[in-house]
């Protein structure tokens, strides 16, 4: 009895404290503790009340096992039949009604189409075009000479810094290694690969310069840059597509064309990746 | 006052009969029956805190520059959605507590649903006639997990943006219709601007309405079919033993509601959850590392991480890799769960109704299947943190991933087999608890037995008058110290006797019309 009263009093005090804390500007930790105490006091009071002062589980009642009145089933069936019987040519009418509802359903479902654009070929290309200048996320163009050997630089085609599928990694390789891909796809040791993981589409955000490996933090797919960004570990099965680039007369990195294959995660109708087949078909 | 109001309503719509039935309704006492209640009460907390959040959240991806009081983000461009969440967290009084309590309530909601599901599974509570409620409950779990995902995706922070991107890729991976599914859900190629407002409507209206409706169905079915109960003295298939709704159960259940709210509110104040200001706003080319989803999607994430690099391709069509771990694995999981009651009934040939529960040992195959499957999901959950495990153990991510690639298919059958052996040994030994089972007996091969049909203890059933001219029946088992009292009173001795007979059909009524019962209960 005393404990129950004490719990409710604690709750009242906590509610009062909560009001004061709120009125004087609020403080998250105190608010949490006091709200917890205000609610918890009521909880403990009620549970003790139920346990100590009220009758416990000494009651029993019959469980009316379902179905307890099978006879009623027949009555329900009879009621249904009674209503349905007098209708002439029931089958035909029902079928016509069903057909009308079904067609209405189809017509009513069609506006779902308005929810999105048509996929079409939009997954097969990005915003890169011949001559697109590579710019950083801030929109500033990237000088080939400023690229560092130890890091990767994320670039977009100029004017499309919010384009998710166009995000591209620029990597400057040391002069003593051979850049992957056709010779005219890179310039001065600078190569460009899609940043969209070919597994589940995350940005391939980590680069280990000593091993020339790109690493996706989402599902740990690992890509070897020197090997044309072929996957070496993790769930990804396809290499990151390479973007053909060159350096223009002002020293900026520009694209020679769009990607030659779809970037990012796979989909049912994704055209065949020519590098999969082992043919020397790149750089058409 | 309450009496007058009740009379006023009864005069107009009736309902005294229902009120009597409701107030005397019997609820069995067992801690495990509170799990579903915890889920129900955390849903109420979710609605209460969620309504508050709705008044401050701005579901817009229009870009803006932050000028609030959180210094590290000042001057950063971000979406209005993200800005409103940061503002709610730092500049709205009590906003952070409400937001974190909402997130904690979601964690408790889904956790209690999962544990509730396990309780129902391992005790066989899903058997006829409760298959329908099993289906409703599973659907509630799926809706809760889905709404958890849409909820933590709303703030448009870097972590949840990454989650949405993976969800988009998973939708894209569905054979034949994947591109259309992804484009219709997201409004176009990722990142399309429609997604945040769509998630908002889904999260605050469509799914909560569905959850509320299904909770109504779930409770109505429980009300109609009454609770299951564990076997015990005085417990029969034909009765329910426990406390009455009024007042005992009402007091303790209301107490539980306040307890759930108290725990969630305290966590909301003290335990930081989803600190979106640390992740930063969503940027299309950025990704947090490490990145883990909220716990209830950890098993899908784990499956994505350890699934081998396999992407079948034929006739110019391909099935993308994420389809297998992120669509097939959850599809099989929930498909098997939906079908389990029907499969079990078919394979055991046990088609009859059951109201008394199994103990896990009573059904070694079911228990072994459940424990094996559970270990599968726990392993996947751990695999979702392969990068963190590698960081903590110093092993390479590759070796950790390979460990899981080997353990995930191999360990669950082993664990299932060991469980089967333990359950049959426990059953054969007749001991109360698994911990009491000596190793020697546990190792011995035992033939699984049919669950023993406990012999009906000889009890006494008698009817006695109540003050006020009403009648009540009692059930007495002197050997087991059991004395139970009918939950309702009856207008006549015959009615009371009839009710007692329905509850204990095998027990003859010893005293029927005695005004003074000769043999009083030894318990007083």
What does B269-284 look like in DSSP terms, one character per residue?
HHS----HHHH-B--T
- pLDDT computed for residue A66 by the predictor: 64
- pLDDT computed for residue A239 by the predictor: 96
CA B122 to chain A, closest CA, distance in angstroms equals: 23
**ipTM of the predicted structure?**
0.93
Q: How confident is the model at residue A274 (pLDDT cuts 50, 70, 90)?
A: low
User: Would you call A110 an interface residue with chain B, using a CB distance cutoff of 8 Å?
Assistant: no
> In B, residues 480-509, which contact A (CB 8 Å cutoff)?
483-488, 499-500, 502-503
Q: Which residues contact B82 (CB under 8 A, 6 or more apart)?
A: B155, B156, B157, B276, B281, B282
What separation in angstroms does the CA of B125 have from each of A94, A279, B228, B360?
A: 40, 60, 7, 11
- pLDDT computed for residue B448 by the predictor: 60
pLDDT per position as a tens digit, B443-500: 776 666 555 555 556 788 989 998 889 999 999 987 778 899 999 999 999 999 999 9
Strand partners for A133: A254
State the best of B285, B396, B484 to mutate against chain A, taking most chain A CBs within 10 Å.
B285
pLDDT per position as a tens digit, A162-183: 899 999 999 999 989 999 999 9
Phi-psi region of B20 (alpha: psi -120 to 50; beta: other; left: phi over 0): alpha
State the best of A116, A224, A231, A262 to mutate against chain B, taking most chain B CBs within 10 Å.
A116
pLDDT per position as a tens digit, A92-109: 888 999 999 999 999 999
- Residue B107 has, within 13 A of its CA and on its CB side, a CA count of 19
pLDDT per position as a tens digit, B115-165: 999 999 999 999 999 999 999 999 999 999 999 999 999 999 999 999 999
pLDDT per position as a tens digit, B381-419: 999 999 999 999 999 999 999 999 999 999 999 999 999
Strand partners for A253: A247
pLDDT per position as a tens digit, B225-276: 999 999 988 999 999 999 999 999 999 999 999 999 999 999 999 999 999 9
Q: Which helix (H) or strand (E) holds B179?
A: helix B178-186
Residue in A39, A205, A267 closest to B320 by CB: A267
Strand partners for A190: A172, A187
- Cis upstream peptide for B271 (omega within 30°): no
User: Would you call B131 an interface residue with chain A, using a CB distance cutoff of 8 Å?
Assistant: no
Residue B301 has pLDDT above 90, yes or no: yes
- The three-state (H, E, C) secondary structure of B93-126, written as one string: CCHHHHHHHHHHHHHHHHHHHHHHHHHHHHCCCC
User: Would you call A35 an interface residue with chain B, using a CB distance cutoff of 8 Å?
Assistant: yes
The answer to whether B265 contacts A35, with C-beta atoms less than 8 Å apart, is yes
The answer to whether B398 contacts A233, with C-beta atoms less than 8 Å apart, is yes
Residue B34 has pLDDT above 90, yes or no: yes
Residue B376 tokens, joined: 């599968």
What separation in angstroms does the CA of B135 have from each of B117, B142, B357?
A: 11, 11, 18
Q: Which residues contact B80 (CB under 8 A, 6 or more apart)?
A: B58, B60, B61, B62, B63, B64
Q: Which residue is listed with tokens 């005085």?
A: B234
Look over chain B and give the mean of its residue pLDDT values, rounded to a whole number: 92
The whole-angstrom separation of Cα A276 and Cα A284 is 16
The whole-angstrom separation of Cα B24 and Cα A59 is 9
Handedness of CA B294, B299, B300, B303 (dihedral sign): positive
Q: Which helix (H) or strand (E) holds B419?
A: helix B397-429
pLDDT per position as a tens digit, A239-253: 999 999 999 999 999
Q: How confident is the model at residue A67 (pLDDT cuts 50, 70, 90)?
A: low
For residue B385, which of B407, B400, B406, B372 has the smallest C-alpha distance?
B400
What percentage of chain A carries pLDDT values higher than 90? 76
CA angle (B158 as vertex; B152, B163 as ends), nearest 5: 55
Instruction: Provide the terminal-to-terminal Cα distance of chain B, rounded to the nearest Å.
Output: 36
- Cis upstream peptide for B438 (omega within 30°): no
The answer to whether A62 contacts B269, with C-beta atoms less than 8 Å apart, is no
Residue B26 tokens, joined: 């019997």
User: Would you call A277 an interface residue with chain B, using a CB distance cutoff of 8 Å?
Assistant: no
Residue B515 has pLDDT above 50, yes or no: no
The whole-angstrom separation of Cα A74 and Cα A54 is 45
> In A, residues 207-266, which contact B (CB 8 Å cutoff)?
216-221, 231, 233-238, 264-266
Average pLDDT over residues B314-320: 92
Residue B308 has pLDDT above 70, yes or no: yes
Q: Are A253 and A190 in contact (CB under 8 A)?
A: yes
pLDDT per position as a tens digit, B71-126: 999 999 999 999 999 999 999 999 999 999 999 999 999 999 999 999 999 999 99
């Amino acid at each position: 009895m005393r404990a129950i009263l004490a719990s409710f009093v604690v709750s009242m005090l906590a509610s009062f404290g909560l009001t004061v804390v709120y009125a004087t500007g609020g403080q998250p930790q105190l608010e949490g503790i006091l709200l917890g105490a205000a609610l918890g006091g009521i909880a403990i009071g009620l549970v003790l009340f139920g346990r100590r002062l009220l009758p416990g589980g000494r009651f029993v009642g019959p469980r009316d096992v379902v179905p307890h009145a099978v006879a009623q089933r027949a009555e329900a069936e009879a009621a249904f039949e009674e209503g349905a019987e007098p209708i002439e040519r029931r089958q035909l009418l029902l079928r016509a009604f069903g057909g009308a509802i079904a067609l209405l359903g189809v017509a009513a479902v069609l506006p779902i189409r308005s929810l999105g654009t048509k996929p079409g070929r939009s997954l097969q290309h990005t915003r890169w075009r011949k001559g697109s200048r590579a710019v950083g996320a801030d929109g500033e163009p990237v000088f080939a000479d400023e690229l560092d050997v130890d890091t990767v630089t994320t670039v977009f085609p100029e004017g499309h810094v919010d384009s998710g599928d166009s995000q591209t990694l620029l990597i400057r390789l040391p002069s003593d290694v051979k850049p992957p891909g056709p010779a005219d796809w890179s310039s001065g040791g600078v190569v460009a690969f899609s940043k969209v993981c070919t597994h589940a589409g995350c940005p391939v955000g980590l680069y280990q310069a000593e091993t020339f490996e790109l690493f996706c933090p989402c599902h740990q797919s690992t890509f070897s840059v020197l090997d044309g960004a072929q996957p070496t570990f993790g769930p990804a099965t396809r290499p990151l597509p390479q973007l053909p680039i060159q350096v223009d007369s002002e020293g900026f990195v520009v694209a020679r064309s769009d990607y030659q294959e779809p970037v990012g995660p796979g989909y049912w109708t994704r055209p065949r990746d020519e590098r999969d087949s082992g043919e020397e078909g790149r750089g058409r | 006052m309450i009496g007058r109001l009740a009379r006023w309503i009864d005069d107009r719509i009736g309902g005294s009969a229902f009120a009597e039935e409701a107030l005397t309704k019997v609820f069995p006492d067992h801690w495990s029956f509170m799990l579903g209640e915890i889920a129900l009460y955390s849903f109420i907390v979710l609605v209460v805190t969620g309504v508050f959040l709705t008044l401050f959240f701005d579901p817009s991806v229009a870009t803006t520059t932050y000028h609030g009081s959180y210094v590290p983000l000042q001057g950063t461009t971000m979406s209005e959605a993200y800005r409103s969440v940061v503002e709610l967290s730092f500049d709205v009084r009590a906003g952070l507590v409400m937001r974190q309590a909402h997130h904690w309530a979601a964690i408790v909601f889904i956790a209690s649903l999962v544990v509730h599901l396990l309780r129902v599974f391992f005790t066989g509570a899903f058997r006829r006639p409760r298959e329908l409620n099993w289906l409703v409950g599973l659907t509630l779990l799926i809706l809760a997990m889905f709404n958890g995902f849409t909820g933590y995706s709303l703030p448009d922070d870097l972590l949840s943006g990454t989650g949405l991107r993976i969800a988009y890729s998973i939708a894209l991976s569905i054979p034949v219709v994947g591109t259309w599914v992804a484009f219709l859900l997201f409004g176009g190629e990722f990142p399309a601007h429609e997604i945040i407002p769509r998630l908002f409507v889904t999260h605050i209206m469509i799914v909560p309405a569905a959850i509320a409706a299904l909770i109504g169905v779930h409770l109505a079915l429980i009300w109609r079919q009454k609770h299951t109960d564990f076997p015990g003295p005085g417990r029969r298939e034909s009765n329910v033993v426990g406390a009455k709704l009024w007042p005992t159960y009402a007091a303790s259940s209301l107490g539980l509601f306040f307890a759930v709210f108290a725990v969630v509110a305290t966590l909301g104040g003290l335990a930081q959850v989803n600190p979106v200001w640390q992740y930063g706003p969503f940027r299309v080319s950025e990704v947090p590392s490490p990145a883990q989803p909220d716990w209830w999607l950890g098993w899908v994430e784990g499956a994505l991480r350890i699934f081998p690099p396999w992407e079948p391709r034929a006739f110019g069509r391909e099935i993308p890799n994420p389809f297998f771990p992120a669509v097939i694995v959850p599809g099989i999981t929930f498909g098997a769960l939906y079908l389990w009651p029907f499969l079990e009934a078919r394979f055991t040939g046990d088609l009859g109704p059951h109201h008394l529960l199994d103990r896990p040992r009573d059904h070694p195959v079911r228990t072994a299947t459940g424990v094996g499957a559970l270990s599968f999901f726990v392993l996947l959950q751990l695999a979702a943190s392969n990068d963190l495990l590698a960081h903590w153990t110093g092993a390479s991510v590759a070796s950790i991933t390979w460990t899981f690639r080997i353990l995930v298919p191999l360990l669950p059958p082993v664990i299932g087999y060991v469980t089967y052996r333990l359950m049959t040994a426990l059953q054969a030994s007749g001991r109360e608890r698994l911990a009491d089972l000596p190793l020697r007996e546990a190792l011995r091969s035992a033939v699984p037995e049919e669950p023993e049909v406990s012999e009906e203890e000889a009890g006494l059933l008698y009817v006695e008058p109540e003050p006020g001219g009403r009648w009540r029946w009692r059930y007495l088992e002197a050997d087991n110290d059991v004395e139970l009292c009918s939950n309702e009173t009856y207008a006549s001795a015959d009615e009371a006797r009839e009710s007692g007979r329905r509850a204990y059909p095998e027990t003859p009524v010893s005293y029927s019309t005695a005004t003074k019962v000769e043999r009083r209960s030894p318990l007083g």
